[in-house]
Amino acid sequence: SSVFANIVRAPEDPILGVTVAYNKDSSPHKLNLGVGAYRTEEGKPLVLNVVRRAEQMLVNDSSRVKEYLPIVGLADFNKLSAKLIFGADSPAIQENRVTTVQCLSGTGSLRVGAEFLARHYHQLVIYIPNPTWGNHTKIFGLAGLSVKAYRYYDPATRGLDFQGLLEDLGAAPSGSIVLLHACAHNPTGVDPTIEQWEQIRQLMRSKGLLPFFDSAYQGFASGSLDADAGSVRMFVADGGECLAAQSYAKNMGLYGERVGALSIVCKTADVASRVESQLKLVIRPMYSNPPIHGASIVATILKDRDMYNEWTVELKAMADRIISMRQKLFDALSARGTPGDWSHIIKQIGMFTFTGLNTEQVAFMTKEYHIYMTSDGRISMAGLSSRTVPLLADAIHAAVT
Ligand code: PMP
């Protein structure tokens, strides 16, 4: 018998498992609103034109080889990624106080940051919002940090529990790490206002809490790369330290290329260079060095003014389509007279709507309408189209009446 005979079957991932179930459904009307991946009005995955163009240039450049990248990845990519999130005129960059390493998309960037903190930071507690992207708990826990939650979402208002957030962070042990979604909070779609961010910043700095930004949706929330980086830049402008994990999965549509970056903003250039030397020791035994293709695409686009501009236009079009789906769904529910207040659908921001539907209602919609979503009632607005909005509205209406 197998030496693995006693292995117990693990449950499917709560998010990716939705797609597994969807793929097994033979209904022609089935609709997958589980995974956070952009779809066109026709329901198709999208490769941006500017990405196709960059790939063509890379293919035609016969001087390109497939040698290993350095442990920290592609130098141009790292520099340009820091500029993208912190701003071209960021004093932290000008003073060489930032170290940026290319990692395996957002997840890998979070994990490398977490492993570094677990080895070298004095306070091993990290506070994550309740709720948050399910993978956060596991990424930080497996890296060896102790994971605690701070209040974030208020089910009664389907908005921010700002008082609860301030109380919980105010009561956190000094020096604690705090995970913050830079924008387009997943799964709730609820972000603090600029004024609330400023209060959070003051509280965190006064208590010496260390911000760790997860930026998986820059440009995807509002359509503006600068606006969506506002929270991060506020924390860098005060001269303090922070970490930021960036993903190009959504905003450049590079999901499967696994391209992202971890930046650590330090007090001095000397500290930043020592931090980078330790990041290399984290990365080398994990995967040696990151893949070259996706980072080359990003660097090609970010360093060329025309291509950069083309990207911002395509990015805004994706953000605008998502925003228009919010309005369409809200209007469709209003037209049906569906009981309840659905205004949170148009108030929330980013890829997801946290509908407020409960587990039973979600199960009902899957069984009767072949509509798939995570059991917490989160739907990906990017998976909707003008054609499918009425189907979803019918299903929600039936689920709540
Ligand atoms: N953080 C958040 C909040 C996310 O929603 C995601 C993507 N679902 C990620 C990080 C990381 O995604 P990836 O590793 O594909 O970049």
Kindly write down the DSSP assignment for every residue of 65-126, as one continuous string.
Answer: --PPPPTT--HHHHHHHHHHHH-TT-HHHHTT-EEEEEEEHHHHHHHHHHHHHHHH-S--EE
Mean pLDDT by runs of 10 across the 401 residues of the chain is 96 85 94 91 95 98 95 98 97 97 98 98 98 96 98 94 98 98 96 98 98 97 96 97 98 98 98 98 98 98 98 97 96 97 94 94 96 94 94 97 93
- Among the listed residues 214, 228, 376, 394, the single catalytic one is 214
> Which atom belonging to ligand 1 lies closest to the Cα atom of 185?
3
257 CB near ligand 1 (under 6 Å): no
- Tracing tokens 């290329």 back to the chain, one arrives at 257
d(CA 187, CA 36) in angstroms, rounded, equals 10
Say what the pLDDT of residue 107 is. 98
264, 240, 241, 235: which is closest to 98 by C-alpha?
264
Residues whose CB is less than 8 angstroms from the CB of residue 288 and which lie 6 or more positions away in sequence, other chains included: 68, 71
Give, for ligand 1, the residue of 180, 214, 251, 262 to mutate: max count of ligand atoms closer than 8 Å to Cβ.
Answer: 214
Give the distance (Å) from ligand 1 centre to CA of residue 245.
Answer: 10
73 CB near ligand 1 (under 6 Å): no
Residues whose CB is less than 8 angstroms from the CB of residue 191 and which lie 6 or more positions away in sequence, other chains included: 160, 181, 183, 184, 185, 221, 231, 349, 350
Residue nearest to atom 13 of ligand 1 (CA): 106
DSSP one-letter code for 255: G
Q: Element (H or E) spanning 259, and its range?
A: strand 259-265
d(CA 245, CA 139) in angstroms, rounded, equals 13
Question: Both tokens of residue 309?
Answer: 């501009």
> Which atom belonging to ligand 1 lies closest to the Cα atom of 247?
16
133 CB near ligand 1 (under 6 Å): yes
d(CA 199, CA 19) in angstroms, rounded, equals 39
- Among the listed residues 250, 328, 342, 394, the single catalytic one is 250
Residue nearest to atom 12 of ligand 1 (CA): 106
Residues whose CB is less than 8 angstroms from the CB of residue 119 and which lie 6 or more positions away in sequence, other chains included: 278, 282
DSSP one-letter code for 223: S
- pTM of the entire structure? 0.96
Tell me phi and psi for residue 281, to 5 degrees.
Answer: -70, -25
> What b/e string do you get for 266-303 counting C-beta neighbours within 10 Å, with b at 16 or more?
beeeeebeebbeebeebbeeeeebbbbebbbbbbbbbe
Mark whether 250 is an active-site residue: yes
Give the distance (Å) from ligand 1 centre to CA of residue 107.
Answer: 6
Other beta carbons within 10 angstroms of residue 129's beta carbon come to 25
105 CB near ligand 1 (under 6 Å): yes
Mark whether 25 is an active-site residue: no
Report the number of secondary-structure helices (H) and strands (E) in the chain. Answer: 16, 13
Question: Both tokens of residue 315?
Answer: 């990015």
Say what the pLDDT of residue 17 is. 84
186 CB near ligand 1 (under 6 Å): yes
> Which atom belonging to ligand 1 lies closest to the Cα atom of 260?
16
Say what the pLDDT of residue 36 is. 86
Give, for ligand 1, the residue of 81, 111, 132, 135 to mutate: max count of ligand atoms closer than 8 Å to Cβ.
Answer: 135
98-104 and 242-247 strand pairing: unpaired
Residues whose CB is less than 8 angstroms from the CB of residue 86 and which lie 6 or more positions away in sequence, other chains included: 92, 93, 98, 229, 232, 233, 236, 244, 263, 265
Say what the pLDDT of residue 16 is. 83
Mark whether 13 is an active-site residue: no
